[in-house]
Amino acid sequence: MSENSPQSQSRKTVRDFLEMKSRGEPITVLTCYDVLFARLLAEEGVDMILVGDSLGQVALGYDSTLPVTLEEMLHHTRAVRRGAPDTFTVVDLPFLSYQVSNEDALRNAGRALKETGAHAVKLEGGRKESCDRVRTLVRAGIPVMGHLGFEPQSVNALGGFRVQGRSEEEAERMKRQSLALEEAGCFSVVLELVPGTLAGEISRVLRIPTIGIGAGVECDGQVLVLPDVLGLNPDFSPRFLKKYGRLAEAARAGIRGYVKDVKARQYPGDEHTFGEEG
């Protein structure tokens, strides 16, 4: 725990995030998929943890988020909650867990909160169907985070990994959809791979916080994928990513040292070996 970290952090609420936006205090969000990193995020005072379906690529080795199942999301979210029980946690609803019907969305979002202890869910899109899902969940008392711009679950329809909202038509559509999500009851909305000027316009119009990833500094908060932030995937270096660590290099060094010592019979040493007594 760093010197500036709170010894204990009371969990923030939806109201707290709205108040942070109103007073201009940036909201810090990081993704997380396991208990050890969740504990570190809590100790360092991250405002919100997102258990993203990005775990499909980062933790499970899938080519996209599309194969991720609800059971996988619940499994990882339970681990995160054990590591950070006092941090506001959002769980991604994976592909086809909410798109089919309002009933499916309610059933699966309810499971996500009931079986993991998470505090909110996130779903992608701002079309009428997505807003209908949001209304259904909010009426049932389930806080919802929206997601606009590049929508990973629609990667095939969007033509791959690319910035959204550069044309006037796309920008106007995104503005309308952001307002529609707010009206439907979202407490915040992620803006992913959106031009900074457009993200700033949306952030100024909405009463709810915007959380940017590749969307510039004018968003009300920022989110990044934790393994990317820590440099665990050195081959992934998109323009929007700033790496705050070089853990891949440190891990390789540790693994090399272990292999070398075992091969040379330098580990375990006497200090690592139990005697007949004591």
The answer to whether the beta carbons of residues 221 and 47 sit under 8 Å apart is yes
**DSSP label of 12:** P
- CA-wise closest residue to 91 among 142, 48, 41, 51: 51
- CA-wise closest residue to 165 among 99, 212, 221, 98: 212
- CA-wise closest residue to 191 among 233, 169, 167, 220: 220
**DSSP label of 86:** T
Structure tokens at 47: 């405002």
Collect all residues with Cβ–Cβ distance below 8 Å to 271 and sequence separation of at least 6: none
* Alpha-carbon distances of 274 from 52, 195, 248, 268, rounded to whole Å: 43, 61, 33, 10
Known catalytic residues are: 192
Identity of residue 117: G
* Alpha-carbon distances of 86 from 13, 29, 41, 82, 142, rounded to whole Å: 11, 14, 11, 9, 18
**Is the Cα dihedral 78, 84, 88, 90 positive or negative?**
negative
